[in-house]
Amino acid sequence: MSKFVGVIPPVVTAFDSNRKLDLERTKEFIRHLIGKGVSGIFIAGSTGEYTLLSIQERKELISAGVEAVDGKVPLLAGTGDNSTTTAIELSRYAEEAGADAATVALPYYPKPTQEGLYEHYKRISENISIPLMVYCWPEQHAGVNIAPEIVARLAEQGAIAGIKDSSAGIDHITEIIRLAGDRISILIGWANKLLPALALGADGTVCTIGNVIPEEVVAIYDHFQQGDMDKAREMQLKILPLIEAVSSDPGGTKEALKLIGQSVGPSPLPILAVPDNVRASIKAELIRLGRLS
């Protein structure tokens, strides 16, 4: 099985003015990202606001993603849930719909043990034939994280194909690379850590800012692969302020897209439009990067 590599944006989900799913606009935006040279698409992830959707809406979104990608790049489908049974249901659906992998966020409420996390992923893997990816983001998953040793154990057994690691620091992904980097795809969840992670042996990134500036993130990856560290470093440092501006508010990504003419509508409640000071910061950084005049 080949690894998932490169830049795989966790695509935003479009909503209409009534905060209802806009699948056609979502598909249109996915095609836009593919045209910018991304290596894959992650549908129905955190950036796609999956926790604000019903199970049926998530299934519709996954099917729309498969249709939009049309085999041009791998499609990773977000199928995580606190319930192992529901995660299996969604992962099976993703496989039947034609997704290339099921990406399952850590269950976090009620808080499981590490052995519980192991059983969660093991049982999901036993019920699907497509690759299974772990997704950890302890800052959003009530502090729950998966131990690198559990990741390595699952990798050794062939239960998982990779991990998207959105831990705040880089030590967690570094230990996973050390223990299992030769067996699974290891993707960093933060573009501000992309170059350091690549240098340590990561395979790519699933990063929110890839929705807004996909070319720049792709350039960091490509320059690294070509051995041009100076250009990779230059681009990595250049995009850091925009990453900070966008990530300072849950609606920041959609505001940035609106500013550059790629509006995907509002977020479902309780996520509101960004306040004026955040909007001004995002706009200033987009101007600095030459995305706005």
Q: Provide the pLDDT for residue 290.
A: 95
pTM of the model: 0.96
Q: Answer yes or no: are the C-beta atoms of 2 and 199 closer than 8 Å.
A: no
Q: What's the one-letter identity of residue 179?
A: L
- Of 27, 59, 164, 258, the catalytic one is 164
pLDDT at 61: 98
Average pLDDT, integer, range 202-230:
98
Confidence class of residue 1 from pLDDT cuts 50, 70 and 90? low
Say if residue 228's pLDDT is above 90.
yes
Q: How far apart are CA 107 and CA 87, in angstroms?
A: 9
User: Which regions of 182-242 does DSSP assign to beta strands (E)?
Assistant: 185-188, 204-205
Cβ atoms of residues 58 and 90 within 8 Å: yes
DSSP-assigned states of every residue in 55-81: HHHHHHHHHHHHHHHTTSS-EEEE---
**Residue 126 confidence (pLDDT):** 98
Residue keyed to tokens 């992904």: 173
Tally of residues, the chain:
293
Question: Strand pairing of 75-78 and 41-43?
Answer: parallel
Residue spans of the domains in the chain: they are 6-226
Assess whether 59 carries a catalytic annotation: no
Give me the pLDDT at residue 80, please.
Answer: 98
CB 19 within 8 A of CB 269: yes
Active site residue 135: yes
pLDDT tens string 26-67: 999 999 999 999 999 999 999 999 999 999 999 999 999 999
**Which is catalytic among the residues 108, 135, 221, 258?**
135
Question: What CATH class does 6-226 carry?
Answer: alpha beta
